[in-house]
Amino acid sequence: MKKLLLALSLSLVLFGCAPADTVDSASVAESSSVAISSEVAETVSVSISLTDGGTVIAGSEKTIEVEAGANLLAVMKENYTIEEADGFITAIDGQTQVEQTADTKAKYWLFDVNGEPSMVGAADVALQEGDVIVWNLTEM
């Protein structure tokens, strides 16, 4: 019995003295690559321009690299000077909507995504590679 206890004690001492910082390098490398890939977001290129009555506003055309799925309203705020009222864009880079009066027709900012009028607001548009956004100051 004494020999068994001695052998057990000796084995505990040997295992207890093993270096604690021994780590499986394969699992560390795998963890590192997972962390890196989750931090790097895919970027996409989108084109944005402004028109007034169908004519491109000088200097308004931009090709922008954004994170895939970025929302259009946030991208507009980062790249243009935007004014809003009640959740609607009322001015972009100083080009302001016009309310209807006895002397003028109303003009509002509307936008197309890839040549089609958007059926949702800019905050609900998730940008993807190659999207072409055209903001139109349109007479109503």
pLDDT at 23 over 70: no
Could you tell me the residue range of the domain that residue 85 belongs to? 43-139
Q: How high is the pLDDT of residue 5? A: 45
Answer whether 75's CB lies under 8 Å from 92's CB: no
Is residue 19 in a domain?
A: no
Assign 41 a pLDDT band (cuts: 50, 70, 90): confident
DSSP H helical segments within 40-121, as ranges? 72-79
How far is residue 108 from each of residues 20, 40, 75, 136, 137, measured CA to CA in Å?
Answer: 68, 38, 20, 8, 5
CA R_g for the chain: 30
Is residue 22 in a domain?
A: no
Helix (H, G, I), strand (E, B) or coil at 129: coil
Is residue 130 in a domain?
A: yes
Q: How high is the pLDDT of residue 59? A: 93
The total number of structural domains in the chain stands at 1
- E strand intervals along 1-140: 43-52, 55-56, 62-67, 82-85, 88-92, 95-96, 107-113, 116-117, 132-139
Tens-digit pLDDT profile for residues 66-82: 999 999 999 999 999 99
Answer whether 134's CB lies under 8 Å from 57's CB: no
Q: Is the whole-model pTM more than 0.85?
A: no
CA pseudo-torsion sign 52, 58, 59, 65: positive
Is residue 31 in a domain?
A: no
pLDDT > 70 fraction of the chain, expressed in percent and rounded: 71
